[in-house]
Every structure is written in structure tokens, then in C-alpha cells.
Structure 1
């Protein structure tokens, strides 16, 4: 396990001062970078731990912010912030590019080897970076399955992995089918894993505390989804070469 240095980073995006969490592995050379996007309520310790875990493996990881340091416990406040974002790809791309700039400015990051992984809204940010033509090595999105603007997915130049719960009412079967049809028509190298019996936000340990219906933690599938993301990084963003 690699020794890790962590620090808080502040940077502007979407008219806010974002507060991200950067985790850097010890070493003498540059390492691949990974953007980690949080789900709708915002950046939490769950995302920070993911960044730390990736840095322990040897990646430079930035868990980025969506809401200027805020975490929304109230679902109505969260939706009031997130729904306009999800309807505006340009704002999502601005948030993603600002975080990408911070990650690439880190001296130990190899700017030519970057992946984006994310959950819910944070996963859509990664997709929109790909749709903007950003040169990523891989995109992983859990729950964040959107089609974006017509034709934009043709600009994605890397493999896309997506995960979703079979019983997720927020991302129902019709939305999953539209998402995969969009990627297929665009010629994207894609794969979708549907985790049987899982609800929305199944990956998050505190999901059972959410007042939103259709949300719940599934520990076994949460672990499987994380390993699937790690497998994607191993394939597309190896730590050597």
C-alpha cells in the first residue's frame, strides 16, 4: 500500500468556490489521474475515502465538489440545485473542466492519462466531459445514466462503464435503454451492469437514511460496483506504461 498525502483544494466553478479533496500517492514520477464525482447531495467522506483508496493504489485522485462546499441533507434543496444542473450540459462541463484543471495542475499527475468516475450527478459530469471531447481514458458512472444532447455522445473517445440497480425507480429500465441506445448509435465502447435487487444510491452506506423513496444501500452490490470500477481503471488506466 502506497503512502498518501491529502489536502483540501479550493477552486472556482459555476459561480461558486468549490472545495475538493485531493489525494496524492508517494513516488518519484507522474501517475494517472482520476476524477471522482459525488452524487446529488454533494461531496462527502464517502467520496474522500474513495479518493484515498485510489491514491493508495497509486493514482492521483480528486474528489470534486458540486455545490460550493455544501452537502444537502434536504432532498428538496438537493433537487432544486441538481435538476437545473442536469438540464444544462454546459454547466456540468464547466464544473468538470474546473476540477480537471486542478487535477492536471498537480505536478504528480500525468495529464495524458485521466479517467472520470462518478455517482449520480457526479457521474453525469464525467459523461459530459466525454461528450465535450475531453481526452479521457475511461468513464465510469453509477446511477448517472443520461443521453445528453443529440449527437454529443459521438465525441466520447474512451470506454464507458455504467452501473445501476435493477429496482432503481429514479433510473428506470426505459432510461437505461435510452442511455445504451445513445451510446451504441454513437459508436462508443460501452458496458452496463444491472445489479439485481438494488435501489438508487445502492453504493452509498448512508442511503438507508434518505427520506427519498426508492433509495437504499446494498452492501454486496456496492462492493461489486467498486471492484467493477477498479477493473475498468486497471484495463484503461494502468499504473505502468
Structure 2
């Protein structure tokens, strides 16, 4: 697959004294993608880069907010676009359709993720040797898949991510993993957890797996409870679990990047 070098059209503004944000357009093959960067650093003060992968709803304000928060912690972040053209879903049927399509072509899925990684590495404030990734729900599955398939990542954090699709670990994969799951999440079965843990154990990758009591699916997203009620889905925000998981991530990235 041919991956074209990103062509950027940047609309930048300063959100605080040390963070610059900008929208970025880039391409994979012939398809256009719309991402968002929050950068903290300079050519003389290169800092780690973090890729943020959105939920199955697509590249939305929530993913961009997380990129901003990472920049506030001192990182450079890109909230990527896995669906193309910044496409988002308003209904679970569309979200399921988009996410299934993304995983139906693993080669393309990796290419779309790697395009964002390479774009992030090219920023003058980024240390290209210190790249990590975080993902939510669908995004958690995306970052875990790429981490176990040899992506150039030092650290990966999955928040309430799907685990059932991780069947093998490619030789040479070295990313350290932090997997934060809701203990009451019915969308992640005990069988999926057991199988996933066995795969990672056999690969000898470094992993910390955390089950947060009382947390169900999408526990980090303040909009989850309303969407859960609207569509009769087991989604609910849990403020305590959100804060605890973010602090776990902060410590993990600090120790690995």
C-alpha cells in the first residue's frame, strides 16, 4: 500500500503559554484524513509524542480534549482519524459499521495508525524515539492491535478497550502495555480477558492489567451516561474511575517515556 507523505493545512492558535494546537490534513493512499495536534515543546526541548485514538463514534471533541490534556502534561499529542474525512457517527449502528470496516482490513488499519505516528514524529518539538499511544473503546483495540503487531511504540494505554481481537503478538513487538478495564463492563467478557492475558503472557510483553470496580463501558467519557440511556447501551461515566485511570496513565507514561 502506498502511503503519501502528509500534506498539511494548519490553522493554529495558542491555547496557553506553552501549548499550540492545530488541525492537520493528511493522506493514506488516496483517502483524506483530518487530525488534531496539541504540541508542547520546541526544537530545543523535544518531548515524547502520544497518539490518541478515538472511540467508535469517530474523531470528535472528546478525542481532541484528551490530546489537549496530554499537552498540558508536557507531551505532544495527535488525535488521529481512523475513518477518514473526519467522519463521525451519531447512532450506534453507524459506529458499529465504521469500526467493523476499520478492522476488516488489518493492513490498512495499521497504515492509518502509522501515518499518524509518522506525522507526529515530523514535528520539531517531538522526540521520535519516544512515542506512545492511548485509545478509548474502539481506540483501545486499535492501539493494542498496533502495539502487538510491531508498531514503533514505547508505551500504550487502553481505556475500556475491546480485547477479543488480540490473538497473536508479532515478533519484535516491544511496547509496554497498561490496560484499564471496567470490572462491570459487559462488553468485555471474562473469556476475552483470559484469552488476552494468555496471549500477552506468552509473548512476554510487559503489561499491567487493571480492573476498576464499579466501572462499566466508556467510564472515562462524561457523555457516556446520556448516550447509554438514549440507545439502551451499557455505557456510563464514572468520575472516580476516570480520575484514577488518568492518574495511572500519567504515572505509566512518565515511567516509560
For residues 90 and 160 of structure 2, the distance between their equivalents in structure 1, rounded to whole angstroms, comes to 19
SS in 1 for 2:63: helix
Q: State whether residues 133 and 153 of structure 2, in contact with CA within 8 Å, keep that contact through their aligned partners in structure 1.
A: yes
For residues 175 and 211 of structure 2, the distance between their equivalents in structure 1, rounded to whole angstroms, comes to 21
1:165 aligns with 2:165: no
SS in 1 for 2:249: helix
For residues 116 and 163 of structure 2, the distance between their equivalents in structure 1, rounded to whole angstroms, comes to 20
Q: For structure 1, which runs of at least 5 residues remain unmatched after alignment?
A: none
- CA shift, 1:78, in A, is 0.7
Say which of 36, 50, 65 aligns to 1:21: 36
CA 2–161 in structure 1, closer or farther in 2 if over 3 Å, else same = farther
For residues 234 and 2 of structure 1, the distance between their equivalents in structure 2, rounded to whole angstroms, comes to 22
1:215 aligns with 2:235: yes
1:49 aligns with 2:49: no
Structure 1 partner of 2:144: 127
SS in 1 for 2:33: strand
CA RMSD of aligned residues (A): 1.9
Structure 1 partner of 2:128: 111
For residues 18 and 204 of structure 2, the distance between their equivalents in structure 1, rounded to whole angstroms, comes to 40
Q: State whether residues 89 and 128 of structure 1, in contact with CA within 8 Å, keep that contact through their aligned partners in structure 2.
A: no
- CA shift, 1:89, in A, is 2.4
- CA shift, 1:87, in A, is 4.0
Q: State whether residues 89 and 148 of structure 1, in contact with CA within 8 Å, keep that contact through their aligned partners in structure 2.
A: no
For residues 176 and 14 of structure 1, the distance between their equivalents in structure 2, rounded to whole angstroms, comes to 35
Structure 2 partner of 1:92: 109
Number of aligned pairs?
237
TM-score, normalised with respect to structure 2: 0.86
CA 40–183 in structure 1, closer or farther in 2 if over 3 Å, else same = same
Q: State whether residues 2 and 56 of structure 1, in contact with CA within 8 Å, keep that contact through their aligned partners in structure 2.
A: no
1:174 aligns with 2:194: no
Q: State whether residues 182 and 215 of structure 2, in contact with CA within 8 Å, keep that contact through their aligned partners in structure 1.
A: yes
SS in 1 for 2:222: coil
Q: State whether residues 147 and 182 of structure 1, in contact with CA within 8 Å, keep that contact through their aligned partners in structure 2.
A: no
1:197 aligns with 2:214: yes
- CA shift, 1:145, in A, is 3.7
Structure 2 partner of 1:226: 246
Q: State whether residues 2 and 58 of structure 1, in contact with CA within 8 Å, keep that contact through their aligned partners in structure 2.
A: no
CA 88–205 in structure 1, closer or farther in 2 if over 3 Å, else same = same
SS in 2 for 1:231: helix
Structure 1 partner of 2:8: none
Structure 2 partner of 1:140: 157
SS in 1 for 2:156: strand
Say which of 67, 80, 83 aligns to 1:64: 80
TM-score, normalised with respect to structure 1: 0.91
Say which of 118, 134, 137 aligns to 1:101: 118
For residues 104 and 197 of structure 2, the distance between their equivalents in structure 1, rounded to whole angstroms, comes to 19
For residues 158 and 62 of structure 1, the distance between their equivalents in structure 2, rounded to whole angstroms, comes to 18
Q: State whether residues 42 and 72 of structure 1, in contact with CA within 8 Å, keep that contact through their aligned partners in structure 2.
A: yes
